[in-house]
Homo-oligomer: A and B are copies of this chain.
C-alpha cells in the first residue's frame, strides 16, 4: 500500500516532516510506503520552490482541493489554521496528523477532538518529544515501577530569542494566530511529556495554578517598508505553573522566551519514592537516572542497540539529533494508519493538554487554583 501524503505548511515543521518521510525507506524499511504527494500553501512561488526542495510531486493553494487528492493529511500550519482543515479531513475519514498545540483555543480543540471522535480515521498530534529514545526509555522505567510512587514532576522549556526587546514581531506573538505564546509553543511540550511519562502512575493533573507574563508589549515589524512600525504582542512571553496530580504528586512547570543562555532547553525531572530521572533536550541522547538503592545519578547514553529505535540507526554510541524524533513519529503514525489501528498521542491527548493550558490561563486571570474536573 502506498499512502499519498498531503502536507499543509512548508516552513520549519514542513521541512521536519518532509525529511522524516524521505528517510523512512532507508531506516524503517517496514514502514508503509508514503509518497510526498501534495504540498499546500498560499504563496505559489514559495510553494513551488519548497515542493521542489522537499520532494513533493504536486502543490495546491486550496487545502480543500488537496483533501481530494491525498490519503493522509498533515496539518503543519500556524495554530489558527489547525481546526478547519483538520476537521474537514476527519469528516471525510482522512487520517490527520496535526502539529501542536492542537488549537489556538480550548473551544477549537474541543471541536477538533469531537471531529476525531466521530471519524473512522486516526487523528494524531505531533508531540515529537515522546519519540526521543531517552524519553521512551524513561517512560519504560517509570511504567515498570522503577521510580516507585511518583512524588514530583518538574518540567521547563527555555529559549531566549525574545530577550532582546528589538527582536521583531512574528505570528507566534499574536493571540489570534497562535492562541498563546510560550505556554502553547513550549509549555504544551512540557505538559504532554509529564502526562506521557507519569500519567499511568500518578494519574492526570487535577489542579493547576499559573501565571503568564508579557515583558515587552510591542515589537518592531520587520521587512521592507516597515521602518518604525511596531505591532502589539498579545501572547505570554513566559509562564509558570504549579500542579497537583491525582496521586498527590506535585508539578512545577515553566517556560520562557527570555531565559538568556538557553536556545532550546526542554528539561524534565521526575522524583519517585524509588528513584529519579532527569532529561535535557540539549543532550537528548542522555538520560540521568538514580535508583534509590544505588548511589548517585547515572548518565546513561540511550544509544544502545536495544534502546528504542536505535537499532534502526547507527552502532552504539553514535548519537542522533533532534530531527530523528520526527522520523520515529512519522513511522509510528503511518504504521497505525496503514494497519488501521488507533494511534496516540491523538486529538484527545491534544485536548487534554489544551485543557491544562486553558486552566493555567484561567488561573492567571482569576488569581486562584483551577480544578480540572
With the chains together, A264 CA to B304 CA distance in Å? Answer: 11
How many monomers of this protein are in the complex? Answer: 4
Interface residue total, chain A, C-beta cutoff 8 A: 90
B294 in contact with A264 (CB, 8 Å): no
Q: Do A238 and B258 touch (CB < 8 A)?
A: no
Map CB proximity to B onto A20-36 as digits: 1 under 8 Å, 0 otherwise: 00110111010000000
Cβ of A323 under 8 Å from chain B: yes
User: Which residues on B sit within 8 Å (CB–CB) of A292?
Assistant: 160, 163-164, 260-261
CB distance A299 to B299 under 8 Å?
yes
Q: Which 7 pairs show the lowest CB-CB distances between chains A and B?
A: A263-B317, A264-B317, A261-B290, A321-B321, A296-B298, A368-B368, A296-B300
What is the bound-complex CA distance between A161 and B256, given in angstroms? 32
Contacts of A54 in B (CB 8 A): 26
The interface residues of chain B lying within 8 Å CB-to-CB of A163 are 151, 273, 292
Assembled-state Cα–Cα distance A252/B209 (Å): 12
List B contacts of A211 (CB < 8 A).
209, 242, 244, 250
Q: Which residue of B has the minimal Cβ distance to A213?
A: B250
Residues of B near A251 (CB, < 8 A) are 240
Contacting residues of chain A (154-195) with chain B, CB-CB under 8 angstroms: 154, 156, 158-161, 163-165
- Residue of chain B at shortest CB distance from A275: B260
Can you list 21 residue pairs at the A/B interface with Cβ under 8 Å? A19-B23, A22-B26, A152-B259, A160-B271, A161-B316, A209-B211, A238-B250, A240-B252, A260-B271, A260-B272, A260-B273, A260-B275, A261-B290, A261-B292, A262-B276, A263-B303, A263-B316, A265-B317, A296-B298, A318-B323, A320-B323
Distance (whole angstroms) from the CB of A366 to the closest CB of chain B? 8
